[in-house]
DNA sequence: CGTCTTTGACCGGCGC
DNA sequence: GCGCCGGTCAAAGACG
């Protein structure tokens, strides 16, 4: 299998959406449509922090990210920083946060960027470990957290934090493929 | 040898 | 002030 999903959405936050390569079953990702969770009460099954983030994200379309694409693919947009609840201590500027909930055997999905792992923690209310990654791009401070869903370990929660200041190393190579698969994001 | 992962320590925010 | 918790740092080891 040699699928690679590009993202035609010009929104920088949405551009952080993973491009899945051969390590990821495309059918698994598309299957999210069947399990997409729009209900705040079920968000509450996640950790307290996560649930508040998701509730805020899913209930607020004014962020500009709450389009149909994100909803159908079970992508949520976190306004944690903007709401002033918590802010990255080294960043005074607002940084968009995007959470994906995907079903995958793999915790690490190839999103086209190069990541360096810098931490791993067990968090409260989740028996699964949370992994912390930074983008390896020069001067790029984008981070992501990857953890398995507390309630269903077959799902992976990936949270992107920030905007890349560079293109994906794979963008030019896969540019054509991105166009080919652009409709996937409109499903 | 350069890059990446691992992992314990450390730090800051928050609630009590 | 203290303890808990999430996030980050950085030294050491693994790996190609």
Give a yes or no: residue A88 inside a domain: no
What does the alpha-carbon distance between residue A118 and residue A83 come to, in Å, rounded to a whole number? 27
- Does residue A109 fall inside a structural domain? yes
The number of folded domains in chain A is 1
Residues within a 7 A CB radius of strand B: A 85-86, 89, 114-121, 136
Domain that holds residue A115: 97-175
Q: Which nucleotides of C are covered by protein (CB under 7 A)?
A: 4-10
Nucleotides of B under 7 A from a protein CB: 4-9, 12-14
* A23 part of a folded domain: no
Q: Per the domain annotation, does A108 fall within a domain?
A: yes
C1’ B7 / CA A152, Å:
26
Using the CA of A122, give the nucleotide whose C1' is nearest: C6
Domain assignment present for residue A60? The answer is no
Q: What is the pLDDT of residues A28-60, one digit of tens each?
A: 443 333 333 333 333 333 333 333 333 333 333
pLDDT in tens, A105-141: 776 666 778 889 999 998 888 888 899 999 887 778 8
Which segments of A59-105 does DSSP mark as H helices, in order? 68-72
Q: Which residue has the higher pLDDT, A6 or A155?
A: A155
Would you say residue A167 lies in a domain?
yes
Average pLDDT (A2-24) is 39
Q: Comparing A168 with A75, which gets the higher pLDDT?
A: A168
Domain of A145, CATH number, reads 2.20.25.80
CA A133 to CA A116: how far, in whole Å?
A: 5
CA of A116 to C1' of B3 (A): 10
For the entire predicted model, the pTM comes to 0.62
Residue at A163 is within a domain: yes
Cα A160 from Cα A77, distance rounded (Å): 10
Residue A133 falls inside a structural domain: yes
- If you measure CA to C1', which residue is closest to nucleotide C9? A118
In whole angstroms, B12 C1' to A39 CA is 33
CA–CA separation, A129 and A9 (whole Å): 31
CA of A131 to C1' of B11 (A): 19
């Amino acid at each position: 299998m040699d699928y690679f999903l590009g993202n035609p959405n010009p929104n920088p936050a949405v551009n952080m959406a993973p491009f899945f390569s051969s390590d990821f079953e495309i059918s698994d990702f598309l299957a999210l449509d069947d399990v997409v969770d729009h209900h705040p009460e079920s968000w509450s099954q996640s950790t307290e922090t996560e649930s508040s983030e998701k509730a805020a994200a899913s209930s607020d379309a004014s962020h500009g990210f709450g389009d149909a694409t994100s909803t159908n693919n079970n992508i949520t947009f976190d306004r944690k920083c903007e709401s002033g609840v918590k802010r990255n201590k080294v960043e005074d500027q607002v940084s968009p946060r995007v959470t994906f909930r995907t079903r995958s055997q793999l915790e690490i999905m190839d999103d086209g960027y190069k990541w360096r792992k810098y931490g791993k923690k067990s968090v409260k209310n989740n028996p699964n470990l949370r992994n912390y990654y930074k983008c390896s791009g020069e001067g790029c401070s984008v981070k992501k957290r990857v953890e398995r869903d507390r309630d269903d370990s077959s799902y992976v929660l990936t949270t992107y934090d920030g905007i890349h200041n560079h293109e994906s190393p794979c963008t030019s190579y896969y540019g054509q493929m991105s166009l080919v698969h652009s409709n996937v994001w409109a499903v």
